[in-house]
Structure 1
Amino acid sequence: MTFIARDVTDAATAASQCAILPLFQDTKLAGAALKLDKASSGSIKAALALGDFSAKSGESLMLPGTNAAKRILLIGCGDAKTFDREAARKFSRTLYHALLNKQASEAMLHLAGLGLKENEAKWMLTYLARHLTAASYRYTETVSKPRAAMKLTRLVINTKGAIQSRLAASALREGNAIGLGINEAANLANLPGNICTPSYLARHARKLARSSAKLSVSVVEEKQMRALGMGALLSVSAGSEQSAKLIVMNYKGGKTADKPQVLVGKGVTFDSGGISLKPGAKMDEMKFDMGGAASVFGTMRAIAELALPLNVVGIVAAAENMPDGKATKPGDIVTSMSGKTIEVLNTDAEGRLVLCDALTYVARFKPAAVIDIATLTGACVVALGSHATGLFANEDVLAEQLLAAGTDSHDRAWRMPLWDDYQAQIKSNFADLANIGGPGGGSITAACFLSHFARDYNWAHLDIAGSGWNSAPKGATGRPVALLTRYLLDRAGQ
């Protein structure tokens, strides 16, 4: 979708297929709304007088238009005094649904009617562009008749009296890029495991790199992994015919000497549980177990779209977890790249095994900070449901930066404890660490396990087992691309 910011002097003569007017309850028509009401022979006042439209938050009404504006769409915004960011998000959702089944391919939103301060107008336009872009995503890869998408392909924002058009254009560009990143992540995670294999992800990374001169890709193959001592990652792919891949995406948008931000994604393209086989019910959803990797791809896509002046390394630890005669067994002991030995008590706790070697590997980049993202534990779903991502960190400033980015983007996280008290649960009689810590605090003990491999730098772990996909309706959410991109925009001073 194309977004354009433009100052329009006279709303009544501005040509569009649909003029969008935000209206508050119990307020007189003014500005663009008053001009369009006069141009449409009083149709807006008539709709209000008849009670066909009350301007309640979430309400919409499509009216016949004028010679210039072929349709007039009224969007209710409720009480002007209580119009906040939640109301702005609701406005965006209402706008999308009101246009979803309409034939208008172009529309103009008259923003001044909301009476927002410049800061809030900028935030709203970022969210609006992101929401419309992400909501327009349709899965098409393996269906002959995809669900119908919104016809709207071009939205013009009339910035007159609301915000400088330059700032509006920047906000729209940012929101659109984040939306494209969300769609990138959702589409990869929605692909079935027989298509989206570790090799597929490696090819996709190279394809992504071709779209940006600042992005380069290298892939560590299993032979190199053995030479590096990545016994933990290799133990996960041991039972699969699909070779593991460590995919390294290096975005160089900052100065050469600037330390990079590093994102590490769990990329288990299908998780059967291995020898510790999962129950059959909903096992198909284990194609989403590479949601962390998908979010790394989506974030790299977003920052490349924005040409962000920052150095970012995206790492994807990709493997398929399957049972066969060569598969790792419960009780086996493997040696990680760090040299620590791990007793694999449960082969379904495989995400931390692919991540621990990746976390050791990334130290070579001398990172400013490392953030890993993983659909790691069912325990996190129990603790937080689907609304919040679980956040663990070994450094308070990094944790606060991520929490702030999540709040601003409404892709929220909640900080969980990473206390030493929990470390006793992952002790082993036969190795340095056990890969599970018992039934209590499962998401915490998983994070404690990962913390052993991230002691040389500032590190955060995002558990998206609850937020990464929905079961009804089934599909990936593209989270936490918005959080990560906002975090990186903040680090770049944007």
Structure 2
Amino acid sequence: MNFELKTLSLSAAAAHKCDLLVLLVPEGFQPQTDPLSVLIAEALKAGDLETKPGRLLSLYLPAGIAARRLVLVGCGQGNAHAVRQAVQALGATFKSPAIKRAALVFAMDGEAGVVGAAVRAIADASYVYTATKSKAEPRSLSRVTVGVADAGAVRSEFATAAALVTGIEFAREWANRPANHATPTLVGEAAKALSKHAGIQCKLHGPAQVAKLGMGAFLAVAQGSEQPLRFVELHYDGAGRSQPPVVLIGKGITFDTGGISLKPAAEMDEMKFDMSGAASVLGVFRALAELRPAINVVGLIPACENMPDGKAVKPGDVVTSMSGQTIEILNTDAEGRLVLCDALTYAARFKPAAMIDVATLTGACVVALGGLRSGLFASDDELAARLVAAGDAALDPCWRMPLDDEYAEGLKSNFADLGNVAGRAGGAITAAKFLQRFVGDIPWAHLDIAGTAWKGGAAKGATGRPVGLLLHYLLDMAGAHAAKRKAAAPRRARPAA
């Protein structure tokens, strides 16, 4: 979809030709003398329009308005959260085949973040999956004009939001694909295709290369599948070589049966979403290609299937990870941590400023936090604070969870250096403690997105989270590096008077 930003007063909005004009009306709206202001004021006075977020009043061919359809939408206090809620209420409208060109105009001076929230909400509401449908109608909405009081003041925010939408939709597309249309090989090809963008390089490692690297834990998960594994290595070089990169690691289990520890049949189809961490890394790189920030980023994706073949790893088997630590696989359905631990060990070779792994790792995190916030575990307080702030800015929130050493007690094994599971209690935490064994002294964070990566039921589908959180974090770090360089730059001496 194409978004454009314009300076549009309410008077100019009334003359803007489009199929749909959406006006966001806040509490305390102050009308002027233009036709739209008069219409809003009359609707509020009559009680036909409320400013509570998401309350709608729809009109067809309104007099004096160039748009064919007009929708007045309450947006409460006009903050980013309320604007997103207001736009989400228009989901069915944005998907109407009759709506090809739309405009969304703020009937107020918006605070920081509202333009980005509106752009992301429009994209989310109008998204249509079509990849494996024979007669699917593609998204009819092709262009959206975002009208604000001063386009220049929010141009940077708008550009970030438009790039973020591109990345989120790329992530959603790959997470939504059925497993036979998103094999490890195809995921690798999707990553390779990103290298057509300036600044991005891709390297693919196959089974032989992974075996040579000594990734015994990753190999163990993949050995029950006929689909060959892929270890994807992406590089975005936006800064000088002297700047250490941030490494993003995405769990890429393209389908998870649980292996020999077989999952129940009910809703097992949703295990195609088990590569949502990998999809989010792909989405971040797609957005980086649009924005080109001054930062270096490495993306690692261990991609494979977890299947119950006769060659599959068995409960009680002991494998040797790339780090040299041995692991007793007590439950083959705790496979995500096995592929991630080898990727974490590999990531250390880049001497990163930080490592962040992203995974649909545990049902325990869903129990703890539901579908609102992703679980955040971090070894470094500054990294944790930046990720929390980035999530809040992106309306993609997370919640920091504990990493007390005592939680690792349950991972002790009589037959290996550690087991891959502990008891049921604190399952999301013990999974994070397992991963922490492979981190060393590098600042590290783990995002458990099992509750936020997709929705079930009638709204079944990938959300594209946490692409927003990760991109905002990277942009924040790019800004911090720029400020540091500026502060360190020698000042020119002033000429003598």
- Inter-CA distance 282–68: structure 2 relative to 1 (3 Å threshold): closer
Unaligned runs of 5+ in 2: 481-497
Q: Which moved more, 1:377-386 or 1:49-58?
A: 49-58
1:418 is aligned to 403
**Secondary structure of the equivalent of 1:15?**
coil
C-alpha contact 1:11 1:36 (8 A) present in aligned 2: no
Instruction: Choose which of 98, 119, 123 in structure 1 pairs with 2:113.
Output: 123
Q: Deviations over 1:101-128 (max 9, x none)?
A: 37343334443x2233xxx2x4111111
Equivalents in 1 of 2:294, 2:21: separation in Å?
36
2:7 is aligned to 7
C-alpha contact 1:185 1:295 (8 A) present in aligned 2: yes
2:364 is aligned to 379
- Inter-CA distance 416–15: structure 2 relative to 1 (3 Å threshold): closer
**Secondary structure of the equivalent of 1:194?**
helix
Query: Is residue 82 of structure 2 the alignment partner of residue 87 of structure 1?
Result: yes
**Secondary structure of the equivalent of 1:338?**
coil
Equivalents in 1 of 2:55, 2:424: separation in Å?
47
**Secondary structure of the equivalent of 1:259?**
coil
Equivalents in 2 of 1:44, 1:422: separation in Å?
57
**Secondary structure of the equivalent of 2:464?**
coil
Report deviation, 1:37. Answer: 4.2
1:114 is aligned to 108
C-alpha contact 1:75 1:94 (8 A) present in aligned 2: no
**Secondary structure of the equivalent of 2:345?**
helix
Q: Deviations over 1:339-385 (max 9, x none)?
A: 00111111111111100100000111110100000111111111111
Instruction: Choose which of 217, 237, 240 in structure 2 pairs with 1:255.
Output: 240
Amino-acid identity (%): 48
C-alpha contact 1:333 1:344 (8 A) present in aligned 2: yes
1:237 is aligned to 222
1:141 is aligned to 131
Equivalents in 1 of 2:424, 2:186: separation in Å?
35
**Secondary structure of the equivalent of 2:255?**
strand
C-alpha contact 2:206 2:231 (8 A) present in aligned 1: yes
- Inter-CA distance 175–37: structure 2 relative to 1 (3 Å threshold): closer
- Inter-CA distance 97–228: structure 2 relative to 1 (3 Å threshold): same
**Secondary structure of the equivalent of 1:114?**
coil
Instruction: Choose which of 277, 287, 310 in structure 1 pairs with 2:262.
Output: 277
Instruction: Choose which of 471, 478, 495 in structure 2 pairs with 1:485.
Output: 471
**What is the RMSD computed on CA atoms of the aligned residues?**
2.2
- Inter-CA distance 50–273: structure 2 relative to 1 (3 Å threshold): same
Report deviation, 1:474. Answer: 1.7
C-alpha contact 1:130 1:177 (8 A) present in aligned 2: no
Equivalents in 1 of 2:50, 2:382: separation in Å?
46
After superposition, residues 415-454 of structure 1 pair within 5 angstroms as 415-454=400-439
One-letter code aligned to 1:189 = A
Q: Deviations over 1:260-288 (max 9, x none)?
A: 11100110111111111111111111111
After superposition, residues 253-402 of structure 1 pair within 5 angstroms as 253-402=238-387
In the superposition, the TM-score normalised over structure 2's length comes to: 0.90
**Secondary structure of the equivalent of 1:206?**
helix
C-alpha contact 1:60 1:73 (8 A) present in aligned 2: no
Work out the number of aligned pairs and report it.
476
1:226 is aligned to 211
2:25 is aligned to 23
- Inter-CA distance 85–44: structure 2 relative to 1 (3 Å threshold): closer
2:489 is aligned to none
Q: Deviations over 1:360-414 (max 9, x none)?
A: 0011111010000011111111111111111111111111111111111111111
Report deviation, 1:216. Answer: 0.5
C-alpha contact 2:92 2:125 (8 A) present in aligned 1: no
Query: Is residue 470 of structure 2 the alignment partner of residue 470 of structure 1?
Result: no
In the superposition, the TM-score normalised over structure 1's length comes to: 0.91
C-alpha contact 2:13 2:105 (8 A) present in aligned 1: no
C-alpha contact 1:267 1:319 (8 A) present in aligned 2: yes
Query: Is residue 168 of structure 2 the alignment partner of residue 179 of structure 1?
Result: no
1:73 is aligned to 70
Equivalents in 2 of 1:28, 1:477: separation in Å?
36
- Inter-CA distance 37–84: structure 2 relative to 1 (3 Å threshold): closer
Equivalents in 1 of 2:385, 2:28: separation in Å?
40
One-letter code aligned to 2:375 = G
Report deviation, 1:55. Answer: 4.0
Unaligned runs of 5+ in 1: none
C-alpha contact 2:130 2:138 (8 A) present in aligned 1: no
Equivalents in 2 of 1:385, 1:107: separation in Å?
34
